Amino acid sequence: MSAVSFDPNTLGPEFYENPYPTYAALRELDPVHRCPDGTYFLTRYADLDHIYRDRNSFSSDKKSVFAPKFGVGSPLYEHHTTSLVFNDPPYHTRVRRHIVGALTPHVLQAMEPQVVALVDGLLDRIEERQRFDLIEDFAAAIPIEVIGNLLRVPHQDREPLRGWSLAILGALEPAISEQQRAAGDQAVREFTDYLRILVQDRRSHPLENDLLSRLVEEPDLSLTELLHNCVFLLNAGHETTTNLIGNGLSLLLAHPQALHRLRETPGLIGSAVEECLRCESPNQLGNRLVIRPFEIRGVVFEPGTYLTLCIGAANRDPEEFPRPDVFDIGRRPNRHLAFAAGGHACAGMSVARLEAQVAIPRIIRRFPGMRLTGAAVRGGRARFRGYRSLPAVIA
């Protein structure tokens, strides 16, 4: 597909395998690309950085977009339009304050030994089996427990969380089938029914140092707002962080020199994780709605114009990143947009960084001979980039 005919609603298998040549062509030839449906697809770093920070001209409110996509009143519509991420102030500010306020450095510090124990437990199990799936048995098994711990979801209840999360976030793909929509609606119903019981329980038995106990006490959050923002929180931290760990390990295994360097210099883990976030951004696409006339590179956006912000392309923009296609675990500076920027910048970025900074060094140190054995299976999504399966062996 050429840059001029690019249509995010009709993407082929080669795009899912490797979208970067398409992104490079768009960035160079048509950085403010008008799609066949009248929306725009933006790929330059400077443009995304500006748009993410300019809340006077660009809105996160998706009601007008989600109404035709999900149907007003449907579970998916209610969920996504109540999540803080798809709202503007003052509602967004109110909800975000509670979440950011709960993820303090103290909470994160207390989380670290739990993440270490969790990762080591998974590695013990992998060692017994020798052959394993880097996604199923490792990358995906970490975030679900971390977020589950944050909201103190009882262990025996966690099994369905990942499936619900995949179905709800999957419905955010640029084009979805009727079947995907129905699965998303069903997942929202089941997830909120489950959380309603958990919230009732937490109201009568509050726990100490628990995010959910804290949120249920907030007088300015209605039950509907509480339920949907908890669903969002559980989802936001799942697939994205799974993909960070999975993409990161896949990048390292494909770049043996970088892997060797990281093993020899463990202090590079901070910049290595940032480079994984930049090179294979787990969340590749974001959106904003124009609410004030705005001109960018000679194109005038009228209010009501819908924009797709391509983080995956911006994070490889040569104007910001020298040699952008080179995976350099010591890259500095590295002001990538993997967590977006501005007022909606990821509220859980410290949690995600902590998980990756614990998981990646522990597995590469413990299994120095680890290698991939079979065909990698991609997630098949444009918005969330990652693998469904990465078969591996420890030696």
Shortest-Cβ-distance residue relative to ligand HEM: 348
Q: How far is the CB of 178 from ligand HEM (least distance, A)?
A: 26
**Contact, 316 vs 325, CB < 8 A?**
yes
Among 75, 174, 184, 237, binds ligand HEM (CB under 6 A): 237
Cβ nearer to ligand HEM, comparing 25 with 118: 118
> Is there binding between residue 340 and ligand HEM (CB under 6 A)?
yes
Part in contact with ligand HEM (CB under 6 A); list of ranges 30-38, 67-75, 251-259, 340-348: 340-348
Kindly give, in sequence order, each residue whose CB lies less than 8 Å from that of residue 5, ignoring residues fewer than 6 positions away: none
String of contacts with ligand HEM for each residue 26-65, x by CB under 6 A? ----------------------------------x-----
Among 351, 360, 382, 392, binds ligand HEM (CB under 6 A): 351
Among 119, 211, 329, 338, binds ligand HEM (CB under 6 A): 338
> Is there binding between residue 347 and ligand HEM (CB under 6 A)?
yes
Among 282, 361, 379, 386, binds ligand HEM (CB under 6 A): 282
Burial letters for 259-281: b for 16+ Cβ neighbours within 10 Å, e otherwise? bebbeeeeebbebbbbbbbbbbb
**Residue 52: closest CA among 349, 332, 308:** 308
> Is there binding between residue 82 and ligand HEM (CB under 6 A)?
no
String of contacts with ligand HEM for each residue 129-158, x by CB under 6 A? ------------------x-----------
**Residue 23: closest CA among 286, 251, 314, 243:** 314
β-pairing verdict for 285-290 and 58-59: antiparallel
Tally of CA atoms within 13 A in the half-sphere of 126 that contains its CB: 26
**Contact, 300 vs 294, CB < 8 A?**
yes
Among 283, 305, 308, 315, binds ligand HEM (CB under 6 A): 283
Among 123, 171, 346, 390, binds ligand HEM (CB under 6 A): 346
Q: How far is the CB of 130 from ligand HEM (least distance, A)?
A: 29
> Is there binding between residue 99 and ligand HEM (CB under 6 A)?
yes
Among 344, 381, 383, 385, binds ligand HEM (CB under 6 A): 344
> Is there binding between residue 244 and ligand HEM (CB under 6 A)?
yes
Part in contact with ligand HEM (CB under 6 A); list of ranges 64-72, 238-246, 248-256, 319-327: 238-246
Dihedral over Cα of 83, 84, 85, 87: its sign: positive
Burial letters for 96-117: b for 16+ Cβ neighbours within 10 Å, e otherwise? bebbeebbeeeeeeebeeebee
Tally of CA atoms within 13 A in the half-sphere of 195 that contains its CB: 26
> Is there binding between residue 212 and ligand HEM (CB under 6 A)?
no
**Contact, 98 vs 215, CB < 8 A?**
yes
3-state secondary structure of 190: helix
> Is there binding between residue 240 and ligand HEM (CB under 6 A)?
yes
First to last CA, the chain: 41
**Residue 214: closest CA among 228, 194, 230, 232:** 230
Q: How far is the CB of 226 from ligand HEM (least distance, A)?
A: 14
Among 51, 85, 135, 329, binds ligand HEM (CB under 6 A): 85
Neighbours of 218 (CB within 10 A): 15
- How far from chain centre, in Å, is Cα 5? 28
Q: Footprint of ligand HEM on this chain (CB under 6 A)?
A: 60, 84-85, 96, 99, 147, 233, 236-237, 240-241, 244, 282-283, 286, 338-340, 344, 346-348, 351-352
